Amino acid sequence: MAFQTAEFKPEREPLRLSPVESTLLIPLAARAHGDRLFPAMAVHDACAAAALARIQAEVGCFLQDRLSVYGVLSRTRLIRALAQDFFMRHPQGWGVNLGCGLSAYFQWLDKGRNHWLDADLPHVMQLRHELLPLLGPRHHQASVDLRTPHWWKALGLPRGTHGRPVLLILEGVLMYFKADEVEAVLREFATHAPPGSELVCDTLSWMAMGSAAHHPSVCHTHAQFHWGPRCLADFTRAHPRLRLKAEHPVLDGYHPASAWMCAAFRAVWGVPVYGLVQLALKD
């Protein structure tokens, strides 16, 4: 894999992140500074600004992309609400954020008896160890490469009919994977997750494939979009246990025209231009 150095100021050891790893700076910047740009969408992240200050990354270019900042705040609020609901139903369940970057959902979602796992590629976890402390004995961290087989077992996640239900979060991750890698991730979840488990991910339409250079934030990272669904069945065909529970709009509130444009795109193409998808299991 070709590595490039993200642009950090010289006070700290330069941290080498690959293009796809450096995309974590986009949501980190939005959670650190987005509240003042969109007060009505504020997420009140108590960790992001401090983490960003310590790595001293130059993120002005990401904050100029207001639509993406709005999208991150909106999806954060949605995922947080979906997780609150999940832990109401499963108070001892697991929240598992894969490709977690430097996001810190457990600050809001520690319900006293639930567990939380944050996992990402080794370089990212190294950075995370440095910047974000564990928030108690039920908060766990691990390295994972989701493109390798058997990651569910390697992470020690609950399995089988009597395991605790898992809420799996894949936020800003699947669009960087190839179609067969996405299918393998969904199959791994459906093969092992205990009954009651759910998966929440964001989805960027297939039309964005190959065009990250035109995205006003992702272009600065040199990562590429490799996958987007052509129909919603693309989320469930990997395994017979998978079912679509809900779709959630993310960008509709950005501008008066956004809701209309997002709805028109969905009506014409059968998938959201960008949104959240919630999957459940048929048992």
Instruction: Note the residues at the interface with ligand SAM (CB under 6 A).
Output: 20-21, 23-24, 26-27, 99-101, 103, 120-121, 124, 144-147, 171-173, 176
Nearer to ligand SAM, 27 or 194 (CB): 27
Closest separation in Å from C-beta 283 to ligand SAM: 27
Task: Tell me how far, at minimum, the Cβ of 6 lies from ligand SAM, in Å.
Answer: 12
b (16+ CB within 10 A) / e for 132-168: beebeebbbebebebeeeebbeeeebbeeeebbbbbb
- Taking the complex as a whole, how short is the minimal distance between the CB of residue 147 and ligand SAM, in angstroms? 5
Q: From the CB of 260, what's the least distance to ligand SAM, in Å?
A: 27
CB of 159 to ligand SAM, least distance (A): 20
Give 144 or 276: the residue with its C-beta nearer to ligand SAM: 144
Please state the closest distance from residue 224 (CB atom) to ligand SAM, in A. Answer: 12
Element (H, E) at 199: strand 198-204
Cα 218 to Cα 75, 117, 223, 250, 265: the distances in Å are 17, 26, 7, 18, 22
d(CA 212, CA 191): 32
CA 26 from centre of chain: 12
DSSP H/E element including 277 = strand 274-281
The residue among 21 and 234 lying less far from ligand SAM, judged by its C-beta, is: 21
Instruction: Give me the residue whose beta carbon is nearest to ligand SAM.
Output: 101
Count Cα neighbours of 230 within 13 Å in the Cβ-side half-sphere: 3
Please say whether the beta carbons of 22 and 221 come within 8 A.
yes
Output 171 or 188, the one with its CB closest to ligand SAM.
171
Nearer Cβ to ligand SAM (219/261): 219
CB nearer to ligand SAM: give 174 or 271.
174
